[in-house]
Amino acid sequence: MEIIISFFGLIIAIAAVILTVIQSRNAIRPSLKITKVQNNGGNTVIEIELGRMPFCYRIRSVSTLGWMPPKILAYGVGCYDPNTPQHPVPSRKVKPAYWINADLAASASCRFWFVIAPSKQHIWLRITFFSISFPWRSSYEIPAFNQDSTIV
């Protein structure tokens, strides 16, 4: 009988650890808002705004999703301007590796933009984050075909 009781105690402890990890993983996601979706010569420009958090985090990767996902042609920091320096990497997945500082900066958020190749499908982005306060990564899958999508 003691073995059964200790087994149930072990199961409850494992479930508590799993629920704690899930809750902590969701706590490291920053607020995200799609601020601009526009066509630029056939390509789609998507601009997102990420909120700052009390701790530093890094954008680990950005990828397009779908049955035949389009390629990310270029990306950059700040507001999109065709004359700004771009990082041309025609790939389905890019690894910008930008660290976003904590609440030390003057602005409450920072913007990133992505130029995506033409596609007949709706565009979805997967943005993966890595936090210094949590050992695992966390991600968003967002529909990037309409503006004013806010994810908190």
Name, of 9-18, 90-99, 114-123, 138-147, the range with top average pLDDT: 9-18
Average of per-residue pLDDT values in the chain = 80
Residue 149 reports pLDDT greater than 60: no
Residue 151, token pair as written in the block: 């994810």
Task: Say if strands 137-143 and 109-116 run parallel, antiparallel, or are unpaired.
Answer: unpaired
pLDDT confidence bin for 19, thresholds 50/70/90: confident
Residue 13: the pLDDT is 92
- What is the model's pTM? 0.72
Residue with tokens 């306060």: 133
Q: What is the DSSP letter of 103?
A: T
Closest CA relative to residue 55, chosen from 92, 89, 20, 24 = 24
Q: Is 78 left (phi over 0), alpha (psi -120 to 50) or beta?
A: left
Residue 12 reports pLDDT greater than 90: yes
Read off the pLDDT of each residue in 133-138 and give the average, rounded to a whole number. 73
Residue 10 φ/ψ, nearest 5 degrees: -65, -40
- Taken in order of first residue, the domains within the chain and their CATH numbers are 2-151 (2.60.40)
Q: Which residues contact 99 (CB under 8 A, 6 or more apart)?
A: 56, 57, 58
Task: Give the three-class secondary structure for 29.
Answer: coil
Residue 150: the pLDDT is 52
Say how many Å lie between the first and final Cα of the chain, rounded: 47
